[in-house]
């Protein structure tokens, strides 16, 4: 297991690489180019610049999160071929720069979604909250506007402001895309790119839908064991793999995370693990917590044990943390609570190794 930390770059992160470097056991950052529009090929020079910056701080850049997928690919429009060609260009360039894993998602229109970005826990810390009663009645356009203005001045991953303008139009286009169609659009994409991944040794790792159910009538397919199984079979190659996100899949209590880790891990299809906890409030309503098992509804020991049992050699990162100690950072992505999360996960890992 290699422990990593998501970083949004010199210009868009409150956290410095020098601080990340001092987290015990850290090997590298999970980075991305945030100034390349979705759909364009990532230029070699910019990738190398990012790599140099990260490596100069004594860290590795082996995981990218995310190279986002242009909406036309998800919609299966004729223009998708041009964007798929660009995507292949990004994969080739990232491979040349030594990147091993690309995390991406196939969620229509939205990436992750919450009803509140700074909900107060009794200890005064702030967390992300998903209340299904709010989401089910809300106008999605209004929600996106709120998200964009309430994120401590940072743009949220997947909520690029320039995409909001097209939102209404995109909703219209999705009226003809159901789950089967979305699966076949994903298959088309994977069939085209996986041979390039095999050639340059870069593994694709799809991120589950967060939360793992349909929103605003849009189809969502990366949601449970059955669909993950269907997905890995779309193209039967180890390069067609998963980012197993405990918090995203885990917000549906029917998803048993340790079981999923064992099942897809034994197949060699998990390349990246996002490890975090959440607490169920009621059906389809939950909030995030510290990583500690006793603070949430997921058993972190059992999750890490599953990774240990499959002798996981891939990358792990702590996921969203609480906002604590007065930190001002992008919601979910502060330094302090994610660093505490790492220390805790590393502690579990050491115990597991010694007990083995």
Q: Which is nearer to ligand DNO, 205 or 324 (CB)?
A: 205
Q: Which is nearer to ligand DNO, 66 or 125 (CB)?
A: 66
The CB-of-354 to ligand DNO minimum distance in angstroms stands at 31
With CB atoms as reference, the residue minimizing the distance to ligand DNO is 66
Residues labelled as active-site residues = 207, 245, 274, 319-320, 333
Q: Which is nearer to ligand DNO, 111 or 299 (CB)?
A: 111
- Contacts to ligand DNO by CB under 6 A: 65-66, 103-105, 111-112, 157-158, 207, 320, 332
Q: Which is nearer to ligand DNO, 28 or 332 (CB)?
A: 332
The CB-of-84 to ligand DNO minimum distance in angstroms stands at 17
Q: Which is nearer to ligand DNO, 92 or 320 (CB)?
A: 320
**By the 8 A CB rule, do 102 and 259 touch?**
no
Please tell me the distance from the alpha carbon of residue 159 to that of residue 109, in angstroms, as a whole number.
9
The CB-of-175 to ligand DNO minimum distance in angstroms stands at 23
Please tell me the distance from the alpha carbon of residue 273 to that of residue 319, in angstroms, as a whole number.
9
The CB-of-307 to ligand DNO minimum distance in angstroms stands at 18
The CB-of-65 to ligand DNO minimum distance in angstroms stands at 5
């Amino acid at each position: 297991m290699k422990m990593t930390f998501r970083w949004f770059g010199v210009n868009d992160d409150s956290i410095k690489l020098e601080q990340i470097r001092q987290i015990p056991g850290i090997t590298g950052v999970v980075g991305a180019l945030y100034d390349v529009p979705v759909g364009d090929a990532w230029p070699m020079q910019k990738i190398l610049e990012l790599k140099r910056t990260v490596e100069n701080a004594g860290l590795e850049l082996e995981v990218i999160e995310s190279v986002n997928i242009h909406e036309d690919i998800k919609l299966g429009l004729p223009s998708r071929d041009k964007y798929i060609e660009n995507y292949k260009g990004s994969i080739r360039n990232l491979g040349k720069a030594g990147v091993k894993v690309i995390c991406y998602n196939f969620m229509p229109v939205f990436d992750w979604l919450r009803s509140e970005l700074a909900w107060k826990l009794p200890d005064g810390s702030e967390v992300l909250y998903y209340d299904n009663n709010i989401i089910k009645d809300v106008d999605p356009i209004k929600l996106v506007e709120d998200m964009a203005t309430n994120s401590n001045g940072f743009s949220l991953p997947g909520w690029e402001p320039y995409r909001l303008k097209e939102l209404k139009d995109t909703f219209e286009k999705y009226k003809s895309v159901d789950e089967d169609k979305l699966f076949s659009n994903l298959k088309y994409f994977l069939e085209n790119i996986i041979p390039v991944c095999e050639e340059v040794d870069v593994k694709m790792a799809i991120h589950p839908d967060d939360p793992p159910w349909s929103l605003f009538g849009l189809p969502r397919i990366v949601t449970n064991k059955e669909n993950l199984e269907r997905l890995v079979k779309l193209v039967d190659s180890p390069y067609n793999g998963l980012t197993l996100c405990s918090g995203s899949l885990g917000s549906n209590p029917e998803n048993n995370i340790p079981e999923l880790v064992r099942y897809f891990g034994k197949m060699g299809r998990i390349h990246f693990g996002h490890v975090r906890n959440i607490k169920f409030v009621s059906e389809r309503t939950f909030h995030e917590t510290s990583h500690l098992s006793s603070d949430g509804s997921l058993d972190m020991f059992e999750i890490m044990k599953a990774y240990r049992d499959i002798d996981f050699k891939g990358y792990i990162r702590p996921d969203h943390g609480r906002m604590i100690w007065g930190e001002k950072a992008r919601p979910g992505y502060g330094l302090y609570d994610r660093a505490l999360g790492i220390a805790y996960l590393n502690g579990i890992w050491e115990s597991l190794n010694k007990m083995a």
